[in-house]
Amino acid sequence: MRTVLVLNGPNLNLLGTREPSIYGSATLTDVERMCHDEAGKLGLMVDFRQSNHEGQLIDWIQEAGPECAAGRLLGAVLNPGALTHTSLALHDAIKAADLPVVELHISNVHAREELRRHSFVSPAARGIVVGFGVAGYPLAIRGLYDAVRSAEAIPTSASEGVPEEHPRRSPGGTTTTGSTRPQTTSPTRSSDHHRLRLHPETAPPARRDLPGRA
């Protein structure tokens, strides 16, 4: 049974104790229970953590990379807290770990102060869930599960005999807010060379399908 890692950054241990108008009244323990419930429906286990320390979160992300590569970990749901808006180091850690991450925010950061509208994490994330309150946690787990499963379902060159030109990941994030991830044509590790074909649902349309073409 695979595990989903759920990481929470600074001050999220205070959830449910302050600022209920922004973050609601559920505690982090309530959120953990919601995550277990959702993961159970998907046949996953949950590893739920919170830290007030950037370096601790980075260590956990680094450790998660090999677990994911070994197939024991699905990926991570990450609410980086205020580190979202400051931490290039978290961005680099996610990229270096090659970890599928869904970034999650309880509040709608885009409807708040301007400084909360920029995220260092988003460009490294597979998808983003924003503004659904703590209900976003199960949504993020479901989105991560679907994104990873559909990427794994892409046929390989070994089985299809397709030239090695296409990316390992399907383009487009699993995002509740519609954020997308640019398509890449550069494999990032050796196993990428075995995952080469665009998923039919995500492949760009043939030229004849484009509007205005005969």
- Which residues are known catalytic residues? 23, 105
Q: How far is the CB of 21 from ligand CA2 (least distance, A)?
A: 10
Q: Which residues are CB-neighbours of 158 under 8 A, at least 6 positions away? A: 194
Q: Which of residues 3 and 50 has its CB atom nearest to ligand CA2 in the complex?
A: 50
Q: How far is the CB of 109 from ligand CA2 (least distance, A)?
A: 5
Q: How far is the CB of 131 from ligand CA2 (least distance, A)?
A: 8
Residue ranges in contact with ligand CA2 by CB under 6 A: 11-12, 14-15, 18-19, 23, 79, 81-82, 84, 105-107, 109, 116
Q: How far is the CB of 183 from ligand CA2 (least distance, A)?
A: 28
Amino acid letter, residue 115: L
HEC readout, the chain: CCEEEEEECCCHHHCCCCCHHHHCCCCHHHHHHHHHHHHHHCCCEEEEEECCCHHHHHHHHHHHHHHHHCCCEEEEEEECHHHHHCCHHHHHHHHHHCCCEEEEECCCHHHCCHHHCCCCCHHHCCEEEECCHHHHHHHHHHHHHHHHHHHHCCCCHHHHCCCCCCCCCCCCCCCCCCCCCCCCCCCCCHHHHHCCCCCCCCCCCCHHHCCCCC
